[in-house]
Structure 1
Amino acid sequence: MQSRLETMASSLLQGGLLVMVVLGLFLRPQLAFWVVVGIPVSFAGGIVVMQLFGISANMMSLFGFIIVIGVVVDDAIVTGESVYTRLQRGTNPLDAAISGTRAVTVPVTFGILTTIVAFLPLLFFEGMTGNFARQIPFVVTPVLLFSLVESKLILPAHLKHVRMTTRWMRNPLSVIQRGAASGLQCLIDKVYSPALKVVVSHRISVIAAFICMALLMLGYFAGGRLGYVSIPSVERPEIFATLKLPEHVSKETTRIYTDRITAAAEQMRSEYTDPENGAIVTNHWRLLGTDYPGRPYNKAYSVVFLGLMPSGLRSEAGPSNDVVMKRWRELIGELPANATLKIRTQKTRGDDGEKDTDPLEMELRGPNSEMKQEIARKTEELLEGYDGIANAWVNQRANQTEVELSLTPRGTELGITQQALAYQVRRAFYGEEAQRVLRGHEEYRVMVRLPKKQRETFNTLEKMKIRTPGGAEVPLFTVARIDFVQAPTYIERNDKAEVIRIGGEPTDRTVDLVRIADSLKPQLRQLLRGSEDLQFVFKGAVAEAEETKKRLIIGSIAMMFALFALLAIPFQSILQPLYILAVVPFGVIGALLGHMIMGVTPSDLSLFGIIAMAGVVVNDSLVMVDDINQRVRGGTPLREAVLQSGRLRFRPIFLTSLTTFVGLMPLMFDNSLQAQFLIPMAVSLAYGVLFATGITLLLIPCVLVVADDIRVGWRRFVAWYRKPFSGITKP
């Protein structure tokens, strides 16, 4: 845990420094300094509010600060740029601070609100990933609110002291700053402005090209080429192998196979070594008679734990847990067909909080029958046919001989009940507690029962006496019928139904288990045809992924409606919020491209990052559309207003997106194992925002002009349609 917190703190510090460097390069030093001051002020407010919600300084809360470190300066950048533009025109500093802040109050305020709304759906996710993501809104929301207060009240008070003098140009560092600022301005004048004119002139083709791009990426993702995992696997310094043999095997047989697993673990000590610190497999230990510490005793079960050198102590990355598990399975070799071996690196808790569930696990529910047993075996064969499944299993219990006692009419006449009969037989063979003896700190139970030799033979039943309610003792065979039947040794129930658990372990963490489950469902329905009393229920990671998908759809729809409602307030329009929200799907394209570039498999956390990205990417569009509207209201033609706003708003839009990206860069490029769990969400947010910047600067102007073309065209059509009737007068 300490190493994880250190990783997060280091990424937070590096991200903050990168944000400061970027702002220092492209903004005037005084302006950049006062913008950066807003970061610690906002963070301090967020830390205070965190305590009110009971949020501690943990990995996810620090991740929340990393996410927001580049976003928190967005409002300050837009405000500072607006003030600085007026200072360049020669406006009095006080008037420039006031008028510049007022000019962007609406887009900045609603930009913060839309970002907050985008993070709120993370509060309503369940499961393991939901427990992590639920902490992020409690960090992001107060930080952004304090940032809004700082940018509207504190920042203008500082900016009124900025003077347009040339003394700062004598500083050697100012040469670098002027070069970066001039280079950005040259990019705007020589590249972006001409490109924007061309794009607006060919707006239909540009919109069609972006739509084709979106469809291509959607098809690439839907085709499974990117893969998908529910939960990113976090490397832990411990692997354990669970062995389950049939119930009838002896303890010695279990020991023999466990020795085989232990020998394979010992061999890996010499195979995997660190150049400086020795064996990566540091130790191993085992337990016989249980499948996990604290579980009930079962002579057919055993578990072997393998300790690995923590990543922080290695001089190089070394083999991943997936590699170690695969090699361990190879060294163990083939086991009997009725043996189940599970090798895993972490535990996933089931809904009951007691039973472990495999990443791909299902329950076959319904009354026990030969057909149910056969369906379970066929399902296991289906799982074994998938390339991504390393080991499939089914927990069918082999039938064993069972003694069944039932009362005879004579026993009923003597007043003996079935409960009394069972109790007396159990007491004879299992025993009854007579007393408890304390020896030091240990307490021992003293049990009274038949001698061991008598308990090991069925002849004892023939000679056994049963006491009647009247106090008489009669032979067992006179009051009960003894039958030997075949029955399962254990019946597992869930939701009042008998279940057979079937599951499989993936070959590595990149296997898309959800896709395997989806392709398996039609085949399972085919197996259940004609068996109306049987049904399959998925558990484990697949069930959690399905639940997350439902909540994701509901949360996304609710978020889009909330964003639409917020945007409709400042624009007082129904259509313009739709133009702004059009940038969100293209931000998703950027998020998926980011996963391709970084070589990261999408996961639930990637989807959480896409949801959060939606609120951030609309901010830039909001700033641009608001500026265009102001110019149109001032009498500028729409097309000219689009070109002017694009040129003047390029710098703040570019900087807000760049600071978000560089703030997340240290985490995205962190090779430590502790950061791997959080990288998918960071990639979705960073690359989604970066790609959406180009969409905002190019696609939004085209959409606005096309919308105006449609409006003008509709008016012309209506006028043309009404023209023949204009000369007709009513009689």
Structure 2
Amino acid sequence: MKFINYCLKQSLFLNLLTAFIFICGIYVAFTIQKEAFPLVAMDVVTVTTAYPGSSPPEVEKLVTIPVERALKEVDGIEKLHSSSIEGRSVVIATLFEDLPQKEKDQVKTDIQRAIDRIDDLPADAEKPQVQDIRTRHISTIEINLSGLPEIELRKYAESLEDRLEIIPGVSSISKRGWRDREFWVEVNPTLLKNLHLSLSQIVGSLEAQNINLPGGSMKFDSQEFMVRTLGEIETPDQISNVIIRSNDLGNANKIQEVASVKDTFAEENRIEKLRGERAITLVVLKQEKGDIISIVNTIKQEVERFKKTIPPELKIETANDGSYYVKRRLNVLTSNGLFGMVLVLAVIFLFLSRRIAMITVLGIPFAFFTTLIAMKFFGLTINLVSMFGLIIVSGMVVDDAIVFAENIYSHMQRGHSPHEAALQGSHEVYKAVIGSVTTTMIAFLPLAFMAGFMGKFIWQIPAVVIIALAASLFEAMIILPGHCAEWINPQKERLISPTWFLWLKEKYTFLLEKTLTYKYRILGGTVLTLIVCIILGTQVIRFILFPARGIELFFIKAKTAIGTPIEETDKRMKVLEDLVATTLSSQELDTFTTQVGIIQKDVHDPFMNRGSHVAQITVFLTPESKRKRTADQIVSDLQKKGEGVQGFDQVRFMKVTPGPPIGKPVSIEIRGDDIETLKHIANLYKDELRKEKGVSEVEDSFESGKKEFQIVVDELKASQAGLSVGKIAQTIRTAFEGTIATTIKKANEEIYIRVRLAESYRNQPDIFKDIFVSNERGNLIPLQEVAKITEGQGISYINHYDYKRTISVTAMVDQKLATSLKINKKLQYQFKDLSEKFVGYSAKYGGEQEDSQKSLASLKRAFLLAFLAIFFLLCVIFKSLLQPFIILMTVPLSLIGVVIAFFFHREPFSFMALIGVIGLSGVVVNNAIILIDFINTHKKREENNNNLTQTIINACAERLRPIILTASTTIFGLGPVAYGIGGSDPILAPTALAFSWGLFFSTLLTLFIIPCIYSAVNDATDIFKKKFMRKVL
């Protein structure tokens, strides 16, 4: 009481504080950083090593295993995955999640040091690239250039890149569809043989000739001169004139005598296309602290200016715009917030006087501005996750202000002065309000302690909600009473309740009296309804972690026969590109890109699949609100029309669902050493999966590679000829892959000089007879004299899991017929003796089970702890063990509304709906806290009154207005989000639907069922006391 009275006397300071918060809040709202996703470290480090021209087994043996061996010495790595593919090794280290951040940083440093210490990688392998995967690596926007020949596209792409790089906030720009410039020295093996020259001599001569070496300095005639040896090569003509060999008679053999020199680009191993045309794509990344909306807007403005300087044939389009989702959710927050605010204002003005309503509503901007200031202070940003928290809390921040204002208003109606009403009214409710706000905060806390990938994103939701609720409580308890005491004139205010509310209160009193009369029947009916809803929720309503809603992006992934040249794969993709262009209307299709030679989710996907036989089309759809068909309907239409497409071994359509990647429903990793045994075990699993109903797309990760010419060196013959295996292997590599003899360094690029056999020779099966290897004495030894050439079958890639080879078996599950959990359990039982039958082999079960179980299990544990914390808090507030149980009964009662909503809306229950239920559990107890508190207060006032039923009715009637008000503001605040009135957001809708419907039913049941439970518990207590006293007497 003293504290509230003290605050009432500090009106000037509190008014200035309010003005300060508003001014700072408005400033922060315009300046706070906005981005698509919060900056999140994935606890994943990738080590990527390029080894051009090498087969997967060579990559595994010479690169992947040395890298894994080095990482084995690093503490803090939980699991290690690797993939050895043609010309590339990718090792993915996942750190222990529960390590402190300081230790994680140390582990990442140790990984870099361990990789730097590796000294036995092949000379031709590039330096391993270590990358800490974070959300900042997600592209900000992509700019696609097409419509011109490659040489012209390069020129304009470089020009645009230079203009974009200087934009403030742009971190880096990478290019796709870009080939480095190279000078090819294409050797004629016949001419080489005739002149008794070798490929290694050509490589050596170029390396020796292309030099620019400082020789020091000399002083002469009072001046200092630098000494430098110049011999740099700059043009193809200079390369042609490089001397390979000469003698003392002046005879010399030049490169032009045995080879032609071509100014070209690196051999094509990836093709980028836009709408079916060759393209170069600029992938722009923003700086960590950059504002995505302003950066993207500046980039688009610069692109528009650039378009004015280019020929009309050049097409420039943007795609994968990360700011689009931020702007859309901001629009949803703003429009639905404004619409909700109008509804909230209407409800408050309907129940309270004009000035009281205005004072109450001030709490909403105060809470939001304080939250924004706190977010700025703690380094949080406006992103898709934090905005989610702001939307959730938008209807709750005024609840405590309503309780304070309504009780102050009630005291004014009884004739108290504004000051006395503010003092007494605030004192009566402050404990209950603190308790109700605290329970809501505690209910959201489990989301902050959620483990796994999802937990790294979700924690910002409870952070924002708790800050906003704390700000709203401060305003309601400290500032609002002073405003009521100072700004309200009882003579000018309407202090009589409107007629319609008096009628409503009278009807409620009548119905509550009837309800209490038949309380046991009604409680029995409520329990029966709850049981029916539990059955509906567990048996009828499906649970899908992240339903396919609001999809605006999907992939078409295609594979041709292994060994198909990339040019042929590109030609075949034209059929699928035409299918997309003709099937989708302009209202449905934003744009589409094609990548030939690679399949990946995004530019930083470490689990990419490379090869000349693979390709994918990325289809960007227009927003769902602008098209008549859903993504499911569009994909289904494409699948039907594409059934007869020829020339592909496999064509798959993959929709990108909201939420983090969770893997396929069924995923088994089989570990061991021998590939053939792994294939056999994988086939056993696939046979069992195909027997299960509802299981489809059963496949394994093994894929045969290209056919190979395998050179087996006879070491004895090679030694007798003065050759080593390494010398022979290097000559073979130079002949086909080519050797980078040297590099021409220019101001803005480096040009490799690659030496190899001319294409017309190196693509002939009998070329091996024309390959000679030079020994130490300068003699040319025919390859076929020291080696045997055989044909064999390669493998596309070799995967490892924790240092052992692995083959994965995956499958999709129709959730109408089965569940991934059931299928995984059945497989575990059927193959429980796998390690006994196949010694040294094991299986690990993952997929949705692994990806979601960890997060949901931690959420469940945290929620149980939060539930206990709420119970203990209520025990402290009410000094009772029974009354907290009565209050907590509102939680299962709210589930009735949730189940009814999702059942009649035909919506699956999802992770986002679960967030709504968790938040709801903290909100629904608020009305019960206020109600029970007032029943206790009336019971003390009327302790001489033996009619408990009438006491309950009086207390409930007095609390009818604030209960309806607080519930209505939250429901009307989230209702527009649930139904997309101010703009739809499929990710937010399930949360808002669960929240609004659960609160609606909970409020109705709180007004009638909680009084019945209170009365029934009192009856039971009286009976127990009588029996106990009888025994004592």
TM-score (norm 2): 0.61
Is 1:524 matched up with 2:831? no
Could you tell me how far 1:380 is from its partner in structure 2? 5.5
**Which residue of structure 2 aligns with residue 684 of structure 1?**
994
After superposing the two structures, state which structure 1 stretch, 492-501 or 651-660, moved more.
Answer: 492-501
The equivalent residue for 1:118 is 443
1:669 corresponds to = 979
The one of 726, 731, 737 aligned to 1:430: 737
Aligned residue number for residue 223 of structure 2:
none
The aligned amino acid for 2:740 is E
Q: Distance in 2 between matches of 1:526 and 1:335?
A: 40
Q: Are residues 1:37 and 2:362 paired?
A: yes
- Picking from 534, 538, 545, the partner of 1:222 is 538
Seen in structure 2, the aligned counterparts of structure 1 residues 145 and 526 have a Cα distance that, compared at 3 Å, is closer
Deviations 1:264-300 (A, max 9, x none): 213214xx4xxxxx55335444232222475675210
SS in 1 for 2:807: strand
Q: Corresponding residue for 1:727?
A: none
Seen in structure 2, the aligned counterparts of structure 1 residues 325 and 438 have a Cα distance that, compared at 3 Å, is farther
Query: 1:14 and 2:339 equivalent?
Result: yes
2:261 — aligned with what? none
Correspondence 1:343 to 2:653 = yes
Distance 2:354 2:388 in 1: 29
Secondary structure of the corresponding residue to residue 300 of structure 1: strand
Cα distance per residue 1:319-375 (max 9 Å; x no partner): 11111111111111156898332323437898xxxxx87554624321245554355
Give distance in 1, aligned partners of 2:750 and 2:332: 47
What is the letter of the counterpart of residue 304 of structure 1?
Answer: I
Mean Cα deviation higher: 95-104 or 362-371: 362-371
Aligned residues of 1:605 and 1:680 also touching (Cα < 8 A): yes
Q: Which letter maps to 1:10?
A: S
CA distance in 2, matches of 1:495, 1:673: 47
Alignment partner, residue 235 of structure 1:
550
SS for the counterpart of 2:797 is coil
Q: Which AA in structure 2 matches 1:185? A: L
Distance (Å, rounded) in 1 between the aligned partners of 2:528 and 2:647: 51
Residue 562 of structure 2 corresponds to residue 247 of structure 1: yes
What's 1:133 paired with? 458
Q: Relative to structure 1, is the Cα distance of residues 90 and 624 closer, same or farther in structure 2, using a 3 angstrom cutoff?
A: same
Query: 1:375·1:527 contact (CA, 8 Å) conserved in 2?
Result: no
In the alignment, structure 1 residue 701 sits paired with structure 2 residue 1011: yes
Q: Distance in 1 between matches of 2:977 and 2:408?
A: 33
2:647 and 2:532 map into 1 onto residues whose CA distance is: 45
- Looking at structure 1, the residues matched to 784 and 832 of structure 2 have their Cα atoms a distance apart, in angstroms, of 46
| 1:497-535 deviation per Cα after TM superposition (whole angstroms, max 9, x unaligned) | 3333444568xxxx7499631232144235535422231
2:473 is aligned with 1:157: no
* Residue of structure 1 equivalent to 2:5: none
2:718, 2:725 within 8 Å by CA — same for their partners in 1? no
Question: How much has 1:47 moved relative to structure 2?
Answer: 1.8
Tell me the C-alpha RMSD between the 2 structures: 3.7
Shift of 1:251: 3.9
- Residue matched to 1:651: 961
Task: Please give the residue correspondences for 1:94-493 in structure 2 after superposition, counting only pairs within 5 Å.
Answer: 94-125=419-450, 130=455, 132-161=457-486, 162-165=488-491, 181-190=498-507, 192-223=508-539, 225-233=540-548, 235=550, 237-251=552-566, 254-255=569-570, 257-269=572-584, 272=585, 279-292=587-600, 297-311=610-624, 314=626, 317-334=627-644, 339-346=649-656, 359-360=664-665, 362-367=667-672, 368-370=674-676, 372-374=678-680, 376-377=682-683, 391-398=697-704, 402=708, 403=710, 405=712, 408=715, 422=729, 425-437=732-744, 441-452=748-759, 455-456=762-763, 486-493=793-800
| Secondary structure of the structure 1 residue equivalent to 2:703 | coil
Once the two structures are TM-superposed, the CA of residue 303 in structure 1 deviates from its matched residue by 1.6
Question: What whole-Å deviation, never above 9, does each CA across 1:230-274 have from its counterpart, x for those lacking one?
Answer: 2244535443311123423344653454232123213214xx4xx
Distance in 2 between residues matched to 1:709 and 1:630, nearest whole Å = 19
SS of alignment partner, residue 229 of structure 1: coil
- Secondary structure, in 3 states, of the residue corresponding to 1:289? strand
Aligned to 2:159: none
Per the TM alignment, residue 125 of structure 1 is displaced from its structure 2 partner at its CA by: 3.3
Offset of residue 379 of structure 1: 5.3
Q: Where do residues 58-73 of structure 1 align in structure 2 (5 Å cutoff)?
A: 58-73=383-398
Q: Is the partner of 1:21 in helix, strand or coil?
A: helix
Cα distance in 2 between the residues matched to 1:349 and 1:116: 24
Superposed displacement of residue 10, structure 1: 0.6
CA contact (8 A) 2:339 2:982 kept: no
Structure possessing the higher relative contact order (Cα contacts under 8 Å, 6 or more residues apart): 1
Give aligned pairs, total: 692
- One-letter amino acid of the structure 1 residue matched with residue 1013 of structure 2: V
1:93-116, Cα deviation, whole Å (9 max, x unpaired) = 322221111011110111111111
**Whole-angstrom CA distance in 2 between matches of 1:361 and 1:440:** 52
- Quick one: distance in 1 between partners of 2:490 and 2:689? 72
Answer with 1 or 2: which has the greater Rg. Answer: 2
Corresponding residue of 1:620:
927
> 1:221 & 1:349 partners in 2: Cα distance?
23
Judge conservation of contact 1:348–1:359 (CA < 8 Å) in 2.
no
Q: What is the rounded CA distance, in whole Å, between the counterparts of 2:728 and 2:816 in structure 1?
A: 50
Do the aligned partners of residues 70 and 529 (structure 1) sit closer, same or farther apart at CA in structure 2, a change above 3 Å counting?
A: closer
AA of the residue aligned to 1:607: L
Residues 166-194 of structure 1, C-alpha deviation per residue, up to 9 Å, x if partnerless? x656xxxx9xx96xx4333322322x223
C-alpha displacement at 1:555, in angstroms?
2.1
Pairing of 1:67-82 with structure 2 (within 5 A): 67-82=392-407
Deviation at 1:671, TM superposition (A): 6.0
Assess if the C-alpha contact under 8 Å between 1:414 and 1:469 holds in 2: no
Q: Distance in 1 between matches of 2:775 and 2:896?
A: 80
602 and 349 in structure 1: CA distance in 2 versus 1, 3 angstrom threshold: closer
CA distance, structure 2, for counterparts of residue 674 and residue 419 of structure 1: 64
- Match for 1:134: what amino acid? W
More deviation, 705-714/232-241: 232-241
Residue of structure 2 equivalent to 1:567: 874
Contact 2:594 2:616 (8 Å CA) reproduced: yes
Amino acid at match of 2:744: V
Query: Shift of the alpha carbon at 1:153?
Result: 2.2
| Distance change (3 Å), C-alpha of 1:457 and 1:528 | farther
CA 682–279 in structure 1, closer or farther in 2 if over 3 Å, else same: closer
Q: Which runs of 5+ in 2 are unaligned?
A: 1-323, 836-840
% identical equivalent positions: 24
Distance 1:453 1:43, change over 3 A: closer
Contact 1:232 1:676 in 2 (8 A): no
Aligned-partner Cα distance in 2 for 1:127–1:362: 18
* Structure 1 alignment gaps of length 5 or more: 273-277, 351-355, 724-731
Which residue does the alignment assign to 1:546?
853
Letter in 1 for 2:550: E
CA distance in 1, matches of 2:649, 2:862: 44
SS in 2 for 1:491: strand
DSSP-derived class of the 2:546 partner: coil
Contact 2:337 2:391 in 1 (8 A): yes
Partner of 1:726: none
Residues 50, 349 of structure 1: CA spacing in aligned structure 2 closer, same or farther, 3 A cutoff?
A: closer
